[in-house]
Amino acid sequence: MAELPHKYEVPVKTVAKAIKLSDETKDELKASGMMDDKGKLKLKGVSPKMLKRMKEESVDCPVVKNELPFIQCFVCPNFQSRVSGQVLCKGDPL
């Protein structure tokens, strides 16, 4: 299997306290059906245990040039894959 075309390999970090999602991100998640009206995440194919772990992780986004919660990275159109603690990012401007 060929490797996905990507521009960046971003390491995933564990944080002591979960980083809050921005209001813009929450609105996008609600509009796409990944979050209900009460603010509970509903990602298809992601178990509740994995979702809890994802909330406690962050990445230094090379596109936004800021530290973001992993969930925001996961739903980003630049997200390719997560392999061995690394996120493969397309690096396209948002």
Each residue of 8-61: pLDDT tens digit?
999 999 998 888 888 888 888 888 888 888 888 888 888 889 888 988 999 999
In a domain, 49, yes or no: yes
In a domain, 14, yes or no: yes
pLDDT at 2: 59
In a domain, 47, yes or no: yes
What is the average pLDDT across 57-72? 92
pLDDT at 1: 44
Secondary element (H or E) of residue 28: helix 23-31
Q: Which domain holds residue 55?
A: 8-89
Angle of CA points 71, 77, 82, to nearest 5°:
55
- Which amino acid does the sequence have at 53? R
pLDDT at 33: 87
In a domain, 94, yes or no: no
In a domain, 1, yes or no: no
In a domain, 77, yes or no: yes
In a domain, 3, yes or no: no
How many domains, in total, are found in the chain?
1
Task: Please report which confidence band the pLDDT of residue 89 belongs to, taking 50, 70 and 90 as the band edges.
Answer: very high
In a domain, 2, yes or no: no
